[in-house]
Amino acid sequence: MIRDRGRIKWTAMMLPEHVEQLREWQKEDEHQLRQQPDEQQIEQWNYQIQEAAERNLQLSVHYWDNEKVAESKGCIQKINTLDGTLHIISDNGRTYRIPFVHLKSISETE
C-alpha cells in the first residue's frame, strides 16, 4: 500500500492563492443539492407531524440550513400553517423554527 500524504505534500509548491482556491472547492464539495419532495413524501411528513403533535412524540427532523443538512430532535411545540413553519422544542429547552420548505426528512426517535 502506498502511504501518501495527498494534497499536503503539494501545498508547499503552490501559491497561497491556489491553496485558498483548493480549500474553497473542498467546501463546495460538501454542499448537497436540495431536492424537492414529491407529493407522497409531503403526505407522509404531514401524517408524521400530526401524529407526533397529538401523541407528544419525539421527532428527528433533518432540514436544509444554508445548503447543508442540519438536524433537530425534540417534541412539536407548534405547527404554524400561516407562516409555514414547524416549531420544535428540544430536550434542553431550545426552540427550533423550521420552515416547511426546508424539510429534508422526518423520523420518530425513542
Residue 68 belongs to a domain:
yes
Q: What is the mean pLDDT of residues 65-71?
A: 83
For residue 19, the model assigns a pLDDT of 81
* Count of domains for the chain: 1
**Is residue 97 assigned to a domain?**
yes
Q: Domain limits at 81?
A: 57-108
- Domain for residue 1, yes or no? no
Q: Give DSSP secondary structure letters for 29-87.
A: HH--------HHHHHHHHHHHHHHHHHT-EEEEEEEETTEEEEEEEEEEEEETTTTEEE
Residue 71 confidence (pLDDT) above 80: yes
* Residue 30: all three cell numbers together: 460538501
The pTM (predicted TM-score) of the whole model is 0.67
pLDDT per residue as tens digits for the range 12-55:
677 788 888 888 887 777 666 777 888 898 899 889 888 888 88
Distance CA(61)–CA(71), nearest Å, equals 6
What is the domain-level CATH number for residue 100?
A: 2.30.30.520
Contact present, 99 and 80 (Cβ < 8 Å): no
